[in-house]
Chains A and B, each alone.
Chain A
């Protein structure tokens, strides 16, 4: 696991993009107080899910409104059809730790890993 940010860096209902992983991940603090981490890039097109809308443990892509479950990564409606990866996230002593999934990411067309 690796530390990605402090819990204080997160705002309820908002996402934070973590850029120093490849591909970037997004960390969310829900209004209910739970912390989740998924891939930041929408599987449909290059958009940052950290800028999306969090509700009912889902994040809605800020571009085309597919919503991804923060628990399973599944998308609920077009245009996205593939899930994002979900990463295990834990909070210890006010720090957020994430274990990045070893699965292959579902990157959108035109986006490749550096």
Chain B
């Protein structure tokens, strides 16, 4: 099946996936109109440093920019208004201001919105950039630049910090709070071994030990039941509910919510798009949705698994997924056979240790080098005698060789 190249492309979402798609199209010589809609007022910026280098002050907001100021992306920008409705028949998107935008192809790249503790903030999780609204003073989320600016301005040094959640952003935020000289940092997660479900018990154990060595405390497994504020509206404590039903309070001056995120797809209800249980838009292996002319990329999309290990990717996608989605959709829009989606790849940095993982972290991990105590381990994951994935702590050379030895870098489409 061949489709003609669209004369115009409307990208809904000005994050990494949206930016990278536009950049891929331009680099491939596409000279049609590209319009990018963004919910935030900011030009595309890089989010991973928001829980790390941006908070410690190593990186500035200017450093986060994805575009090259010397050779800016040629696109039309409509920023500061979230998308509100899609008309699939005419491929028209209406934003919160009522303005309409139309193109011959629409790519949905609206990302996700951080979850906040139950009973807090505005109803529904689909308000982008307003995640902290309704939270007591001293409570923060980490979804967008404005969230991170608020947390950066907070007086973390000497404070009692509670980090809520057991995912990568929570663990990074805990490590960053230590670096910012918090008096105490306590991680509250429902799991006794955070991230074990994602990276396996061995790697999760190594991470936990790393955090313990740096003074991070792990509260007994508990769910966040709510936040308590004093009469002045300032955070006083985090209300917890443990697995046995017992309730407790954790006194805190600052709470950082790392409770995961929900795909920003609520505005697409009723369009005929198909969604998975997490609310992500279901796509084929090249990013096509169930609607003609509509594609989806990044955290808001769930692509049909493909490749040598066709297992679904967990919700709450990674940086590299957004880049890879954009590369594949770019090729498909330009009519060339889209390359296969490369195997997953992600990284994190905690307490100065760089964690990288490639492939699928399933099956049985085998310790290939290093150790847990030294935070320099290299784990190779095997299933039925086949290597499916690798995880390294401060092992950039080994992880890169494993990854690139299996999947060549997708070539840029010819102009």
- Asked whether B60 lies within 8 Å of A52 as measured between CB atoms, the reply is no
8 Å CB contact of B400 from A45, A56, A60, A78: A60
- How many angstroms from the CA of A47 to the CA of B349 in the assembled complex? 12
B393 at the interface (CB under 8 A from A): no
- Asked whether B408 lies within 8 Å of A77 as measured between CB atoms, the reply is no
Segment among B61-69, B174-182, B217-225 that sits at the interface with chain A:
B61-69
> Which residues of the partner chain B approach A53 to less than 8 Å between Cβ atoms?
400-401, 403-404, 409
Given A77-B20, A78-B20; A65-B66 close (CB under 8 Å):
no
Q: For the side of the interface on A, what is the size category?
A: 20 to 34
> Which residues of the partner chain B approach A77 to less than 8 Å between Cβ atoms?
20, 23, 323
Closest to A67 in B: B409
- How many angstroms from the CA of A63 to the CA of B349 in the assembled complex? 10
CB interface residues, B 64-83, toward A, < 8 Å: 65-68
- Asked whether A81 lies within 8 Å of B65 as measured between CB atoms, the reply is yes
In whole Å, how far is B217's beta carbon from the nearest beta carbon of chain A?
Answer: 28
- Asked whether B409 lies within 8 Å of A60 as measured between CB atoms, the reply is yes
> Which residues of the partner chain B approach A79 to less than 8 Å between Cβ atoms?
46, 48, 66
Given A79-B66, A81-B65; A109-B59 close (CB under 8 Å):
yes
Closest to B411 in A: A56
- How many angstroms from the CA of A56 to the CA of B65 in the assembled complex? 27
Central interface residue in A51, A53, A78, by most chain B CB within 10 Å: A78
Given A51-B397, A65-B320, A109-B59; A76-B345 close (CB under 8 Å):
no
- Asked whether B46 lies within 8 Å of A78 as measured between CB atoms, the reply is yes
- Asked whether A81 lies within 8 Å of B400 as measured between CB atoms, the reply is no
- How many angstroms from the CA of A9 to the CA of B67 in the assembled complex? 38
In whole Å, how far is B278's beta carbon from the nearest beta carbon of chain A?
Answer: 26
- Asked whether A78 lies within 8 Å of B59 as measured between CB atoms, the reply is no
Known: A52-B400, A109-B59. 4 other contacts (CB 8 A): A53-B400, A55-B408, A76-B27, A78-B16
* A interface residues, Cβ below 8 angstroms from B: 45, 47-48, 51-53, 55-56, 60, 62-65, 67, 76-79, 81-82, 109-110
